[in-house]
Structure 1
Amino acid sequence: MKPILADSFYHIYNRGINGESIFKEEKNYSYFLRKYAVFIPFVADTYAYCLMGNHFHLLVKTKSEEEIQKFYRERQNDDEGEKRKTSFETKSSLKDTSWIISNAFSSLFKSYSISINKEYKRTGALFERPFRRKLITSDRYLSQVIYYIHANPQDHGFCKDFTDYPHSSFHAHLSSKQTKLARKEVLSWFGSPEDYKQFHSLNQNINDLIIEFD
Protein backbone atom coordinates (compact mmCIF):
# COMPACT_ATOMS: atom_id res chain seq x y z
CA MET A 1 0.00 0.00 0.00
CA LYS A 2 1.47 3.35 -1.06
CA PRO A 3 2.02 6.03 1.62
CA ILE A 4 -0.66 8.71 1.91
CA LEU A 5 0.59 12.06 0.63
CA ALA A 6 0.03 15.43 2.27
CA ASP A 7 -2.01 18.12 0.49
CA SER A 8 -3.74 15.57 -1.76
CA PHE A 9 -7.26 14.39 -2.53
CA TYR A 10 -8.12 10.80 -1.64
CA HIS A 11 -11.12 8.58 -2.03
CA ILE A 12 -10.99 6.50 1.16
CA TYR A 13 -13.22 3.49 1.57
CA ASN A 14 -13.48 0.22 3.44
CA ARG A 15 -15.92 -2.44 4.53
CA GLY A 16 -16.56 -4.77 7.43
CA ILE A 17 -14.41 -7.85 7.62
CA ASN A 18 -15.89 -10.57 5.40
CA GLY A 19 -18.58 -8.08 4.43
CA GLU A 20 -19.93 -7.91 8.00
CA SER A 21 -22.15 -5.02 9.01
CA ILE A 22 -20.21 -2.17 10.61
CA PHE A 23 -23.31 -0.15 11.46
CA LYS A 24 -25.53 -2.48 13.45
CA GLU A 25 -28.31 0.00 14.13
CA GLU A 26 -29.26 3.62 13.52
CA LYS A 27 -27.34 5.11 16.43
CA ASN A 28 -24.05 3.70 15.12
CA TYR A 29 -23.99 6.10 12.17
CA SER A 30 -23.96 9.24 14.29
CA TYR A 31 -21.54 7.62 16.72
CA PHE A 32 -19.08 6.95 13.89
CA LEU A 33 -19.31 10.59 12.77
CA ARG A 34 -18.65 11.79 16.31
CA LYS A 35 -15.57 9.59 16.46
CA TYR A 36 -14.57 10.87 13.04
CA ALA A 37 -14.72 14.44 14.32
CA VAL A 38 -12.26 13.55 17.08
CA PHE A 39 -9.57 11.98 14.91
CA ILE A 40 -9.69 13.24 11.33
CA PRO A 41 -10.06 17.07 11.13
CA PHE A 42 -6.48 17.50 12.32
CA VAL A 43 -5.07 15.64 9.31
CA ALA A 44 -7.66 16.08 6.55
CA ASP A 45 -10.60 18.16 5.35
CA THR A 46 -13.70 16.18 4.43
CA TYR A 47 -15.56 16.90 1.21
CA ALA A 48 -18.07 14.06 1.03
CA TYR A 49 -19.04 10.87 2.80
CA CYS A 50 -21.51 8.03 2.71
CA LEU A 51 -22.00 5.42 5.42
CA MET A 52 -23.78 2.19 4.55
CA GLY A 53 -24.52 -0.98 6.46
CA ASN A 54 -21.31 -2.83 5.67
CA HIS A 55 -19.04 -0.21 4.10
CA PHE A 56 -18.31 3.49 3.74
CA HIS A 57 -16.84 6.02 1.30
CA LEU A 58 -15.06 9.31 2.02
CA LEU A 59 -13.60 12.08 -0.10
CA VAL A 60 -10.92 13.96 1.80
CA LYS A 61 -8.05 16.30 1.14
CA THR A 62 -5.11 15.78 3.44
CA LYS A 63 -3.71 18.88 5.07
CA SER A 64 -0.30 20.30 4.25
CA GLU A 65 2.79 18.70 5.71
CA GLU A 66 3.37 21.82 7.81
CA GLU A 67 -0.15 21.70 9.30
CA ILE A 68 0.05 17.99 10.06
CA GLN A 69 3.47 18.19 11.67
CA LYS A 70 2.31 21.18 13.74
CA PHE A 71 -0.70 19.19 14.93
CA TYR A 72 1.48 16.23 15.82
CA ARG A 73 3.88 18.35 17.87
CA GLU A 74 1.04 20.09 19.70
CA ARG A 75 -0.65 16.77 20.38
CA GLN A 76 2.38 15.66 22.32
CA ASN A 77 2.16 18.64 24.65
CA ASP A 78 -1.32 19.99 25.26
CA ASP A 79 -3.93 18.57 27.60
CA GLU A 80 -6.26 17.48 24.82
CA GLY A 81 -3.31 15.81 23.19
CA GLU A 82 -2.75 13.80 26.34
CA LYS A 83 -6.31 12.52 26.08
CA ARG A 84 -5.99 11.67 22.39
CA LYS A 85 -2.62 10.03 22.93
CA THR A 86 -4.36 7.15 24.64
CA SER A 87 -6.30 6.50 21.43
CA PHE A 88 -3.58 7.21 18.88
CA GLU A 89 -0.89 4.58 18.57
CA THR A 90 2.44 6.23 19.31
CA LYS A 91 5.69 5.19 17.64
CA SER A 92 8.40 7.69 18.43
CA SER A 93 10.58 6.47 15.57
CA LEU A 94 7.83 6.96 12.99
CA LYS A 95 6.74 10.57 12.76
CA ASP A 96 6.66 11.14 9.01
CA THR A 97 3.58 12.86 7.67
CA SER A 98 2.24 9.81 5.86
CA TRP A 99 2.33 7.79 9.06
CA ILE A 100 0.56 10.52 11.04
CA ILE A 101 -2.29 10.60 8.48
CA SER A 102 -2.61 6.82 8.28
CA ASN A 103 -2.43 6.53 12.05
CA ALA A 104 -5.29 9.01 12.48
CA PHE A 105 -7.58 6.94 10.25
CA SER A 106 -6.43 3.64 11.73
CA SER A 107 -7.01 4.99 15.23
CA LEU A 108 -10.52 6.09 14.25
CA PHE A 109 -11.35 2.60 13.01
CA LYS A 110 -9.74 0.96 16.04
CA SER A 111 -11.57 3.19 18.51
CA TYR A 112 -14.91 2.65 16.77
CA SER A 113 -14.31 -1.12 16.60
CA ILE A 114 -13.55 -1.34 20.31
CA SER A 115 -16.82 0.42 21.12
CA ILE A 116 -18.85 -1.76 18.75
CA ASN A 117 -17.26 -4.94 20.09
CA LYS A 118 -18.11 -3.92 23.64
CA GLU A 119 -21.67 -2.86 22.78
CA TYR A 120 -22.53 -5.98 20.77
CA LYS A 121 -20.40 -8.50 22.66
CA ARG A 122 -18.25 -9.42 19.68
CA THR A 123 -14.51 -9.95 19.38
CA GLY A 124 -11.87 -9.52 16.72
CA ALA A 125 -11.43 -7.10 13.84
CA LEU A 126 -14.44 -5.18 12.54
CA PHE A 127 -12.89 -3.55 9.44
CA GLU A 128 -10.80 -5.10 6.71
CA ARG A 129 -7.17 -3.98 6.81
CA PRO A 130 -5.51 -1.97 5.53
CA PHE A 131 -8.18 0.59 4.75
CA ARG A 132 -8.44 1.35 1.02
CA ARG A 133 -7.51 4.66 -0.56
CA LYS A 134 -7.27 6.00 -4.07
CA LEU A 135 -5.27 9.11 -4.90
CA ILE A 136 -7.18 11.56 -7.10
CA THR A 137 -4.76 13.31 -9.42
CA SER A 138 -7.19 15.11 -11.74
CA ASP A 139 -9.55 17.89 -10.64
CA ARG A 140 -12.07 16.89 -13.30
CA TYR A 141 -12.79 13.66 -11.42
CA LEU A 142 -13.74 15.37 -8.17
CA SER A 143 -17.37 16.05 -9.09
CA GLN A 144 -17.69 12.49 -10.39
CA VAL A 145 -16.30 11.06 -7.15
CA ILE A 146 -18.81 13.15 -5.20
CA TYR A 147 -21.63 11.71 -7.32
CA TYR A 148 -20.26 8.18 -7.00
CA ILE A 149 -20.12 8.44 -3.22
CA HIS A 150 -23.64 9.85 -2.94
CA ALA A 151 -25.15 7.37 -5.42
CA ASN A 152 -23.52 4.36 -3.76
CA PRO A 153 -26.39 3.39 -1.43
CA GLN A 154 -28.79 3.24 -4.38
CA ASP A 155 -26.33 1.20 -6.43
CA HIS A 156 -25.97 -1.29 -3.57
CA GLY A 157 -29.67 -1.54 -2.81
CA PHE A 158 -29.69 0.32 0.50
CA CYS A 159 -32.34 2.69 -0.85
CA LYS A 160 -34.44 3.31 -3.95
CA ASP A 161 -33.35 6.93 -4.35
CA PHE A 162 -30.00 8.07 -3.02
CA THR A 163 -31.27 11.63 -2.60
CA ASP A 164 -33.46 10.28 0.22
CA TYR A 165 -30.64 8.40 1.92
CA PRO A 166 -29.97 9.88 5.38
CA HIS A 167 -26.36 8.85 6.00
CA SER A 168 -24.48 10.77 3.32
CA SER A 169 -23.31 14.33 2.76
CA PHE A 170 -25.71 14.95 -0.14
CA HIS A 171 -28.16 17.12 1.82
CA ALA A 172 -25.47 18.75 3.99
CA HIS A 173 -24.01 20.36 0.87
CA LEU A 174 -27.35 22.04 0.20
CA SER A 175 -28.14 23.00 3.77
CA SER A 176 -27.53 26.39 5.37
CA LYS A 177 -26.72 24.76 8.70
CA GLN A 178 -23.19 24.84 10.05
CA THR A 179 -21.08 21.96 8.82
CA LYS A 180 -17.56 20.62 9.14
CA LEU A 181 -17.63 19.62 5.48
CA ALA A 182 -15.80 21.70 2.87
CA ARG A 183 -19.20 22.72 1.51
CA LYS A 184 -18.22 25.93 -0.30
CA GLU A 185 -15.46 24.19 -2.21
CA VAL A 186 -17.74 21.33 -3.21
CA LEU A 187 -20.46 23.64 -4.53
CA SER A 188 -17.84 25.66 -6.42
CA TRP A 189 -16.90 22.54 -8.39
CA PHE A 190 -20.46 22.32 -9.69
CA GLY A 191 -21.08 26.06 -10.07
CA SER A 192 -24.07 26.56 -7.78
CA PRO A 193 -26.45 24.58 -5.55
CA GLU A 194 -28.82 24.25 -8.50
CA ASP A 195 -26.04 22.91 -10.71
CA TYR A 196 -25.10 20.50 -7.91
CA LYS A 197 -28.68 19.16 -7.79
CA GLN A 198 -28.87 18.99 -11.58
CA PHE A 199 -25.62 17.02 -11.79
CA HIS A 200 -26.91 14.54 -9.21
CA SER A 201 -30.21 14.16 -11.06
CA LEU A 202 -28.46 12.81 -14.14
CA ASN A 203 -27.20 9.26 -14.56
CA GLN A 204 -23.49 10.03 -14.63
CA ASN A 205 -20.99 7.79 -16.40
CA ILE A 206 -18.88 6.60 -13.47
CA ASN A 207 -17.64 3.27 -14.81
CA ASP A 208 -14.03 4.32 -14.24
CA LEU A 209 -14.78 5.00 -10.58
CA ILE A 210 -16.53 1.76 -9.68
CA ILE A 211 -14.79 0.13 -6.73
CA GLU A 212 -14.64 -3.64 -6.47
CA PHE A 213 -13.60 -5.06 -3.13
CA ASP A 214 -11.15 -7.92 -3.54
Structure 2
Amino acid sequence: MSALNLQPHKLYHIYNRGNNREAIFYSPENYRYFLTKLRRYLTPHLRILAWCLMPNHFHLLVQVRERADLPRCSIDLRLLLSSYTRAIQSQYGRTGSLFQQHTKAKELDNNEYALACFCYIHQNPLRAELVREPAQWVWSSYQDYAGLRSGTLCDRAAAIEVLNLPTEAAQIA
Protein backbone atom coordinates (compact mmCIF):
# COMPACT_ATOMS: atom_id res chain seq x y z
CA MET A 1 0.00 0.00 0.00
CA SER A 2 1.41 3.37 -0.95
CA ALA A 3 1.45 6.44 1.30
CA LEU A 4 -1.85 8.24 1.52
CA ASN A 5 -0.43 11.74 0.86
CA LEU A 6 -2.76 13.42 3.33
CA GLN A 7 -2.48 17.06 4.40
CA PRO A 8 -3.38 18.64 7.77
CA HIS A 9 -6.92 20.07 8.16
CA LYS A 10 -8.10 18.59 4.84
CA LEU A 11 -11.07 16.26 4.46
CA TYR A 12 -10.78 12.84 2.81
CA HIS A 13 -13.00 9.94 1.84
CA ILE A 14 -10.94 6.84 2.68
CA TYR A 15 -12.17 3.48 1.47
CA ASN A 16 -11.12 -0.04 0.57
CA ARG A 17 -12.85 -3.30 -0.19
CA GLY A 18 -12.26 -6.99 -0.02
CA ASN A 19 -9.87 -8.53 -2.51
CA ASN A 20 -11.90 -9.80 -5.47
CA ARG A 21 -14.85 -7.98 -3.87
CA GLU A 22 -15.11 -10.75 -1.30
CA ALA A 23 -16.41 -10.31 2.24
CA ILE A 24 -14.16 -8.76 4.88
CA PHE A 25 -16.66 -8.99 7.74
CA TYR A 26 -18.27 -12.32 8.61
CA SER A 27 -19.78 -11.73 12.04
CA PRO A 28 -20.73 -8.89 14.40
CA GLU A 29 -17.52 -9.60 16.32
CA ASN A 30 -15.51 -8.90 13.15
CA TYR A 31 -17.17 -5.50 12.72
CA ARG A 32 -16.53 -4.63 16.38
CA TYR A 33 -12.91 -5.76 16.19
CA PHE A 34 -12.30 -3.61 13.11
CA LEU A 35 -13.81 -0.59 14.86
CA THR A 36 -11.53 -1.18 17.85
CA LYS A 37 -8.53 -1.28 15.55
CA LEU A 38 -9.77 1.82 13.70
CA ARG A 39 -9.96 3.75 16.95
CA ARG A 40 -6.52 2.57 18.05
CA TYR A 41 -4.62 3.18 14.83
CA LEU A 42 -6.31 6.09 13.09
CA THR A 43 -7.87 8.45 15.64
CA PRO A 44 -4.47 9.75 16.80
CA HIS A 45 -4.01 11.14 13.26
CA LEU A 46 -7.54 11.67 11.96
CA ARG A 47 -10.87 12.99 13.17
CA ILE A 48 -13.44 10.51 11.99
CA LEU A 49 -16.51 12.42 10.84
CA ALA A 50 -18.48 9.50 9.39
CA TRP A 51 -17.98 5.79 8.83
CA CYS A 52 -19.73 2.78 7.38
CA LEU A 53 -18.63 -0.84 7.40
CA MET A 54 -20.24 -2.97 4.72
CA PRO A 55 -19.88 -6.75 4.33
CA ASN A 56 -17.17 -6.36 1.67
CA HIS A 57 -15.86 -2.79 2.06
CA PHE A 58 -15.58 0.23 4.33
CA HIS A 59 -15.90 4.00 4.05
CA LEU A 60 -14.47 6.74 6.27
CA LEU A 61 -14.95 10.49 6.07
CA VAL A 62 -12.05 12.02 7.96
CA GLN A 63 -10.35 15.30 8.71
CA VAL A 64 -6.60 15.21 9.20
CA ARG A 65 -5.56 16.54 12.60
CA GLU A 66 -3.43 19.68 12.68
CA ARG A 67 -0.41 17.95 14.19
CA ALA A 68 -0.88 14.55 12.58
CA ASP A 69 2.23 12.46 12.03
CA LEU A 70 1.39 11.79 8.38
CA PRO A 71 4.08 9.19 7.61
CA ARG A 72 3.01 7.36 10.77
CA CYS A 73 -0.63 7.60 9.70
CA SER A 74 0.10 5.64 6.52
CA ILE A 75 2.01 3.06 8.55
CA ASP A 76 -0.82 2.81 11.07
CA LEU A 77 -3.40 2.31 8.33
CA ARG A 78 -1.27 -0.57 7.02
CA LEU A 79 -1.05 -1.97 10.55
CA LEU A 80 -4.82 -1.69 10.98
CA LEU A 81 -5.52 -3.61 7.78
CA SER A 82 -2.75 -6.19 8.20
CA SER A 83 -3.56 -6.97 11.84
CA TYR A 84 -7.25 -7.27 11.01
CA THR A 85 -6.36 -9.54 8.06
CA ARG A 86 -4.21 -11.78 10.28
CA ALA A 87 -7.07 -12.11 12.77
CA ILE A 88 -9.55 -13.07 10.05
CA GLN A 89 -7.08 -15.51 8.51
CA SER A 90 -6.53 -17.15 11.87
CA GLN A 91 -10.21 -17.25 12.81
CA TYR A 92 -11.48 -18.55 9.46
CA GLY A 93 -8.49 -20.51 8.15
CA ARG A 94 -8.00 -18.13 5.25
CA THR A 95 -4.83 -17.33 3.35
CA GLY A 96 -3.89 -14.52 1.01
CA SER A 97 -4.95 -10.90 0.78
CA LEU A 98 -8.17 -9.86 2.47
CA PHE A 99 -8.18 -6.25 1.19
CA GLN A 100 -7.41 -4.78 -2.20
CA GLN A 101 -3.83 -3.62 -2.42
CA HIS A 102 -4.42 0.14 -2.42
CA THR A 103 -6.59 1.98 0.06
CA LYS A 104 -8.02 5.08 -1.60
CA ALA A 105 -8.02 8.53 -0.02
CA LYS A 106 -9.97 11.03 -2.11
CA GLU A 107 -9.63 14.66 -1.05
CA LEU A 108 -12.93 16.43 -0.56
CA ASP A 109 -12.00 19.92 -1.64
CA ASN A 110 -15.23 21.75 -0.79
CA ASN A 111 -17.93 21.51 1.85
CA GLU A 112 -20.69 20.69 -0.61
CA TYR A 113 -18.75 17.67 -1.87
CA ALA A 114 -17.91 16.65 1.71
CA LEU A 115 -21.58 16.82 2.72
CA ALA A 116 -22.52 14.70 -0.31
CA CYS A 117 -19.89 12.17 0.78
CA PHE A 118 -21.29 12.18 4.33
CA CYS A 119 -24.74 11.31 2.95
CA TYR A 120 -23.34 8.76 0.48
CA ILE A 121 -21.51 6.91 3.26
CA HIS A 122 -24.64 6.65 5.39
CA GLN A 123 -26.84 5.61 2.46
CA ASN A 124 -24.55 2.75 1.41
CA PRO A 125 -26.48 -0.01 3.27
CA LEU A 126 -29.73 1.29 1.80
CA ARG A 127 -28.31 1.27 -1.74
CA ALA A 128 -27.01 -2.26 -1.22
CA GLU A 129 -30.53 -3.27 -0.10
CA LEU A 130 -29.24 -4.54 3.24
CA VAL A 131 -31.81 -2.40 5.09
CA ARG A 132 -34.88 -0.30 4.31
CA GLU A 133 -33.80 2.66 6.45
CA PRO A 134 -30.23 3.88 7.17
CA ALA A 135 -31.01 3.75 10.91
CA GLN A 136 -31.37 -0.04 10.68
CA TRP A 137 -27.67 -0.52 9.81
CA VAL A 138 -25.72 -0.60 13.07
CA TRP A 139 -22.32 -0.65 11.36
CA SER A 140 -22.26 3.03 10.46
CA SER A 141 -22.21 6.35 12.26
CA TYR A 142 -25.74 7.16 11.06
CA GLN A 143 -27.32 6.10 14.37
CA ASP A 144 -24.98 8.46 16.26
CA TYR A 145 -26.02 11.45 14.15
CA ALA A 146 -29.70 10.48 14.31
CA GLY A 147 -29.56 10.41 18.11
CA LEU A 148 -30.22 6.65 18.30
CA ARG A 149 -26.82 5.75 19.79
CA SER A 150 -24.12 7.60 21.71
CA GLY A 151 -21.05 6.35 19.86
CA THR A 152 -17.72 7.99 20.52
CA LEU A 153 -15.75 7.09 17.40
CA CYS A 154 -16.95 10.09 15.40
CA ASP A 155 -16.01 13.63 16.26
CA ARG A 156 -19.59 14.84 15.85
CA ALA A 157 -18.78 18.38 16.96
CA ALA A 158 -16.14 18.68 14.22
CA ALA A 159 -18.53 17.20 11.64
CA ILE A 160 -21.29 19.62 12.60
CA GLU A 161 -18.88 22.53 12.27
CA VAL A 162 -16.97 21.46 9.16
CA LEU A 163 -19.95 20.10 7.21
CA ASN A 164 -22.42 22.67 8.54
CA LEU A 165 -24.72 19.89 9.76
CA PRO A 166 -27.83 20.66 11.77
CA THR A 167 -27.25 20.30 15.50
CA GLU A 168 -30.60 18.62 16.15
CA ALA A 169 -30.56 14.85 15.61
CA ALA A 170 -34.07 14.91 14.17
CA GLN A 171 -32.91 17.19 11.34
CA ILE A 172 -30.16 14.78 10.32
CA ALA A 173 -32.23 11.61 10.32
TM-score normalized by the length of structure 1: 0.72
Q: What are the Cα deviations for residues 78-137 of structure 1, in whole angstroms up to 9, with x where unaligned?
A: xxxxxxxxxxxxxxxxxxx3x322111111101100111011011111000110111011
- What is the match of residue 147 of structure 1? 119
Displaced runs of 4 or more, over 4 A = none
Once the 2 structures are TM-superposed, how far is the Cα of residue 178 of structure 1 from its aligned partner? 5.6
**Which structure has the greater CA radius of gyration?**
1
Once the 2 structures are TM-superposed, how far is the Cα of residue 163 of structure 1 from its aligned partner? 2.2
Count of matched residue positions in the alignment of Structure 1 and Structure 2? 167
Alignment of 1:41-60 (within 5 A): 41-60=43-62
Alignment of 1:82-93 (within 5 A): none
Structure 1, unmatched stretches of 5+, are 70-96, 198-214
Contact 1:173 1:186 in 2 (8 A): no
Q: What are the Cα deviations for residues 10-65 of structure 1, in whole angstroms up to 9, with x where unaligned?
A: 0001100001100011211111001111101111110000001001110011112x
C-alpha distance in 1, partners of 2:144/2:151? 9
Contact 1:49 1:56 in 2 (8 A): yes
**RMSD of aligned alpha carbons:** 1.7
Of 19, 38, 41, which aligns to 1:39?
41
Structure 2, unmatched stretches of 5+, are none
Letter in 1 for 2:109: T
Of 56, 75, 83, which aligns to 1:103?
75
C-alpha distance in 2, partners of 1:173/1:62? 20
Alignment of 1:57-206 (within 5 A): 57-64=59-66, 67-69=67-69, 97=70, 99-175=71-147, 177=150, 179-188=152-161, 189-193=164-168, 194-197=170-173
